[in-house]
Structure 1
Amino acid sequence: MGGSSRGPDSDVARSVNPGRNRRWWARTAFAAAVSAAVVPIVAAGLLSTLVLLATGIGGVAVMVAALYWFLTHRGVPRWIWLGVAVLVPIAVLSAFVSANLLWVVLVSYALVLLAALCARIALEEERAESEMDERPVPPPRHPFLVMNPHSGGGKVVRFGLQRKAEELGAEVALLEGPGTVDVEALARDAVRRGADLLGVAGGDGTQALVAGVAAEHDLPFLVISAGTRNHFALDLGLDRDDPAAGLDALRDGVEVRVDLGEIDGRTFVNNASFGVYAEVVQSPAYREDKTGTVLRMLPDLLGGSAGARLTARTGGLTVEGPQAVLVSNGPYQTSDLAGLGRRARLDRGVLGVVTVAVEGARQAVGLLNRAHERGMTQHTALEVTVDADAPEIPVGVDGESLLLATPVRCTVRPGALRVRLPRNRPGVPPFKVAVDWVRLRALAGWSHRPV
């Protein structure tokens, strides 16, 4: 008989006693975590382990402090601190090698990674909480797509997006100029002519403009990852290396509803940034010399002698004088500063808010483990107001540099946008869930807490 070799037994085998499987994953996670602590003690002794730990933590702290001083100084001191930041990790590594302890560090680190991996597998049932609800939909009859042939180094031409879209029945408008093209006007005209789907192959700024029109008319919106970074596409699970795959949604698609951010009446799909980054990007010299402009402006911006002094207000919280404020369409999936950049889902109906205020090297080091609450705050809100001691402030909105009158108000429109996605999305990011060790202990069967 023909057909697939997969039978019902394979499904049964895969799901036999999932509770027991999760229990063993949880126990393995604890075993790996304990081993990570025990290996250095057995191999080097308690005193050497404490010295090892202090050396590693101290080295990281000194390196971060040196980098902060590099950014806040000019001239010779700046380069001295850069040298310190480079030499400290080399010195720590050399100390481990000379004491024959490098292998201990590597083994412990591998065990920590194993513990985290096993813990996340044990907590796999939390995956459902990170998946947006989707429903199958019929193909559109009159899709209209805006394509920017200059975005992403020419992805529209390189991947033949215009030809492939037209073969699928879409009308395509190329942003070729001359001059600036009013993208919103193009989209509105298409709606008047009967378009039942709007889409964009371009950067996030262009995506946001057309998405706002689609949400206004409750039309589905198609994202084609033809820009440079395409964070919106990434968080929707699209493959940024194969933008043509997004066109599959025109013939075999599903639909999800996602939120939209709004800043003073302008739609954003990713984030609005205030403070240091926005000030630097606003500089006329930035396009010609990005690195030089950043290094030249940072000492004054971080020291508070340049740029507007900001005040961020959300709910009952007020943050005075942050050097950076990031308001995102949905909170980023992170518990520390290094993890910023991904959103687990885009339909939570809230804005993510991150503020950073670093007044010295001590607070810069504290950002590593959130030791200073004043240094960095992360929370969610329905509305954020950013005020300043200036009538206008620069704001980066989905990669576009704007000047907006203060106070600037950011809000969220829950479920405002219908996004059309291909059924098969090979770029769906691997699931990440924060490790809850209390829940993990219950899964391992070592507490009476219900699972």
Structure 2
Amino acid sequence: MSEQCAVRETRRRPPATLYSFHVVVERVIDRAGRGGGGVAIDLDGRAHARQRWAARTALGAAAVAVLLPVAVARAASLLLLAGGLLGMGFTLAGIWWALTRRGPARAASVLLAVAAPVVVVALFAAANLLWVVVVSLMLWGLAVSAGKYALSSTKSHQVRVHEYRAPAPARPFLIMNPRSGGGKVERFALQEKAERLGARVHVLDTERPGGEEDVVALARDAVRDGADLLGVAGGDGTQALVAAVAAEHGIPFLVISAGTRNHFAMDLGLDRDDPAACLDALTDAGVEMRVDLGFVGTPGDGAPHPFVNNASFGAYAAIVQSPEYRDDKVRTSLEMLPELLTHQRGPRLVVRAGKTVIEAPQAVLVSSNPYRSDDLLGLGRRERLDSGRLGVLGVKVENAAEAAALLLGPNAPGVTVLTAQEVIVEADRPRIDVGIDGEALCLPAPVRCRIAPRALRVRVPAGRPGVPEPKPPLDWRRLRKLAAAVGRTALPKSRQNTGNWQDWQRGRKLRDPEEGRQEGQSSLSAQGWQVWRHVQGRQSRRNWETWRTYWATRTARVRQHRRKRDSPPDG
């Protein structure tokens, strides 16, 4: 079987399927063909065996959780299910009414949300079925946990952005906020370490009577004085302001994860637990990448406002704009939500993203590159930072049923997820509240959001930890395949090799790297012999062609990566 045939065959199969040792090889070949990063291979298969057993545990626990009420309660199991669903419905309705009402109506709604599950539990206890419900819920919890473990990876990955080598900066200038992140600048001795590495550090004076210092002016003055790198140890809002100055002058920007949430640092794969590790980028151990930079502004109203993460409109932006929000976040939110969710307060928004129009959403989030849409509650992860597209997330909820449907994620009827290069937000009022990377602003309507592709040079440590692999959604179909994958090969029988003498000779020639090169293989492909020796046997000999294709494809990717790494970008 030729390499071309092998690659075509592996690309037919879903790349996300990780249900056997050989499927891991397929996924590496497929991702290499697309230009994505590879995945680690466990040669002895122990890790994948644990995942298979976790999948079997998940399926078994789910089956017992379903059969137990039927076996114990028999016909009453239907009443058991109906009572549980009814109680859940009353609880969700009570929560929605509590958010959209005030005074006695809110108190009654809270009482309903609390009383509904209590009544359901009391009815189950009276029928001597409470233990069945508790055991079933525990089994469902076990099934979900084991299923997510079976489908997850414990590896870290880098956001797909092209990196390249660049000389270390000669005159870096860093701005540090001593109050950011609860005092991380002092706790991690960031100023002392940066100065030892040759950086000029300006610590913001947060107590001065005239208000906060202008970080944009500080950055511009530093560039005029010859700074060849700008950096910030602070929140994402401050990061965005200084990043725009760096992008304007074409010099690299350094992110130090000294903020509270550090969303931008997370997407860059930086160490958020040790901000001092970010300073390693000031040495020769740093690499550079080009990322997009977002801007929010009003046509003809001065310079636009930059953002590295997102700009929010609607309910959240109006709440953070309130002067009372910083003193009491929970109380302020509860006071303002009823009017905001029912359109009695705040502007009525109209969002235009390309050919799509979103009418009267309660909340809109425009991000520099789209967030992962499979988890609306876990926003903060972006698969790319250089796609040149804005991510748009609009939420429109009119009643309790639509609010409950938000649990379905991006498939909910009130959720709109799309991408665009430009987004226009209009309103029926002259000004709109906007939250830009957590900073509250009020801008004239309409507001235009745009993205500058690859406008920002970011310098990061080459050895940064990477982004934790997000937990995958629970896919029962994949779990069944994973649980039933014992002894199976990834290739169809019509494509399998027969383990003949020619296959043995093909592997034998790869003992010597020099012989491998003579046969048209690279030195990296010659390492395939070690893999073959480790997993030798009848099953491995039948699938040697898959391994050979993997190493050949990986060699091409390594060479391509080295060429890109050693050459600067075009623009």
Q: TM-score range by the shorter chain?
A: 0.7 to 0.9
Q: 1:340 maps to which residue?
A: 379
Q: Does 1:183 find its partner at 2:215? A: yes
Q: Deviations over 1:93-148 (max 9, x none)?
A: 666675212122212221222223222349x8xx8795433334432111110111
Residues 1:134 and 1:51: Cα distance change in structure 2 (over 3 Å)? farther
3-state secondary structure, aligned to 2:316: helix
3-state secondary structure, aligned to 2:271: coil
Higher deviation after alignment, 40-49 or 66-75: 40-49
3-state secondary structure, aligned to 1:45: helix
Q: Deviations over 1:230-255 (max 9, x none)?
A: 22112222233322221121122222
Q: Which amino acid is 1:132 matched to?
A: V
Q: Which amino acid is 2:67 matched to?
A: V
Uncovered stretches (5+) of structure 2, i.e. residues with no partner: 1-39, 298-303, 496-545, 547-571
Q: Which amino acid is 1:85 matched to?
A: A
* Identical aligned residues as a percent: 53
**How many Å separate the matches in 1 of 2:96 and 2:293?**
35
Q: Does 1:62 find its partner at 2:110? A: no
Q: 1:203 maps to which residue?
A: 235
Q: 2:365 maps to which residue?
A: 326
Q: 1:352 maps to which residue?
A: 391
Q: 1:231 maps to which residue?
A: 263
Q: Deviations over 1:209-239 (max 9, x none)?
A: 0111111222211111222222211222223
Written as runs of structure 1 = structure 2, the 5 A alignment for 1:118-133 is: 118-121=150-153, 130-133=159-162
* Alignment match of 2:176 (pick from 137, 147, 152): 147
TM-score, structure 2 normalization: 0.68
3-state secondary structure, aligned to 1:369: helix
Give yes or no for contact 2:313–2:435 (8 Å, CA) kept in 1: yes
Uncovered stretches (5+) of structure 1, i.e. residues with no partner: 1-12
Q: 2:248 maps to which residue?
A: 216
Q: Does 1:43 find its partner at 2:75? A: no
Q: 1:392 maps to which residue?
A: 431
Give yes or no for contact 2:158–2:467 (8 Å, CA) kept in 1: no
Higher deviation after alignment, 299-308 or 374-383: 374-383
Q: CA deviation at 1:58?
A: 4.2
Q: Does 1:158 find its partner at 2:187? A: yes
Higher deviation after alignment, 35-44 or 423-432: 423-432
Q: 1:135 maps to which residue?
A: 164
Q: Which amino acid is 1:63 matched to?
A: T
Q: CA deviation at 1:345?
A: 3.4
Q: Does 1:244 find its partner at 2:244? A: no
**Aligned positions, number:** 434
**How many Å separate the matches in 2 of 1:437 and 1:194?**
58
**How many Å separate the matches in 2 of 1:406 and 1:243?**
38
TM-score, structure 1 normalization: 0.85
Q: 1:171 maps to which residue?
A: 200
3-state secondary structure, aligned to 1:379: strand
Q: CA deviation at 1:42?
A: 3.2
RMSD of the alignment, in Å?
Answer: 3.2
3-state secondary structure, aligned to 2:347: coil
Larger radius of gyration: 2
Q: Does 1:273 find its partner at 2:300? A: no
Q: Which amino acid is 1:257 matched to?
A: R
Q: Does 1:84 find its partner at 2:116? A: no
Q: 1:258 maps to which residue?
A: 291
**How many Å separate the matches in 1 of 2:282 and 2:235?**
20
Q: 2:519 maps to which residue?
A: none
Q: Deviations over 1:330-383 (max 9, x none)?
A: 222232432323323323322111111111111111111159754111222221
3-state secondary structure, aligned to 1:186: helix
**How many Å separate the matches in 1 of 2:472 and 2:54?**
14
**How many Å separate the matches in 2 of 1:171 and 1:431?**
37
Q: Which amino acid is 2:335 matched to?
A: R
